[in-house]
Amino acid sequence: MVRGSKSRRPVPESVQNPQIQRRLLAASGFSELGLYQEAIEELESLPFELKETTVVLASWLELYQHWHKWAEALSIAQRLTELEPNEPNWAIALAYATRRARGLTLAREVLQEASGKFENCAAIHFNLACYAAQLGELDEAHLCLTRAIELDRAFATLAKTDPDLAPIRSRSPNN
């Protein structure tokens, strides 16, 4: 799960241009509607100098995630982690795309590395719990989930319905 990320890099003035904002919003809307070619047209029409900005790359990431183009999403997420190494949401996005493109074990490695850097990021611990549960490592999953909930109680609610955590729920006498 990628929770709303906020860019810490300065946003170029041109990105704040209403026409640019309209194109980014249109791309997002098209993507959500499954109109991927239209979303691509909006993003490709942006000025060249904006192509490598976080906000534009995040729009590409969103498009590829909706479209289930995981290799492309992985590439964009990797670039975002390079541009903003102190943003934990990009590590989460990278792990999610890695899971879909290359497998659960590699995705978990991405998050394990990120957890050392972002030890107080509840979403990373929650996703590690999901990955451990899916790998059958239920004790590890429980530890990671407990840590996520300690950091952010909202994950207790999410844990009740997340399909990746079904193995924990089926084992728990409280559910």
Q: Where in the chain is the domain with CATH 1.25.40.10?
A: 1-118
Looking at residue 39, its pLDDT comes to 97
**Chain segment 60-115, per-residue pLDDT in tens:** 999 999 999 999 999 999 999 999 999 999 999 999 999 999 999 999 999 999 99
Q: Which residue has 């990628």 as its token pair?
A: 2
Mean pLDDT over the full length of the chain: 91
With H, G, I as helix, E, B as strand and everything else as coil, classify residue 33. Answer: coil
Which pairs from 31-39 meet CB under 8 Å and 24+ separation? 31/62, 31/63, 31/66, 31/67, 32/66, 34/66, 36/63, 36/66, 36/67, 39/63
Q: Which CATH architecture has domain 1-118?
A: Alpha Horseshoe (1.25)
Band (pLDDT 50/70/90 cuts) for residue 173 is: low
Query: For residues 19 and 141, what is the distance between their CA atoms, to the nearest angstrom?
Result: 46
| Percentage with pLDDT > 90 across the chain | 86
- Eight-class DSSP state of 174: T
Whether the predicted model's global pTM rises above the 0.85 cut: yes
SS3 content of the chain, % helix, strand, coil (to 5): 75, 0, 25
Looking at residue 171, its pLDDT comes to 77
Convert 42-103 into a string of H (helix), E (strand) and C (coil).
Answer: HHHCCCHHHCCCHHHHHHHHHHHHHHCCHHHHHHHHHHHHHHCCCCHHHHHHHHHHHHHHHC
Looking at residue 172, its pLDDT comes to 59
Looking at residue 13, its pLDDT comes to 59
Band (pLDDT 50/70/90 cuts) for residue 174 is: low
- Eight-class DSSP state of 165: G
Is the confidence at residue 138, as pLDDT, over 70? Answer: yes
**Chain segment 42-58, per-residue pLDDT in tens:** 999 999 999 999 999 99
Structure token pair of residue 63: 């498009």
Is the confidence at residue 150, as pLDDT, over 70? Answer: yes
Structure token pair of residue 145: 């989930």
Looking at residue 2, its pLDDT comes to 43
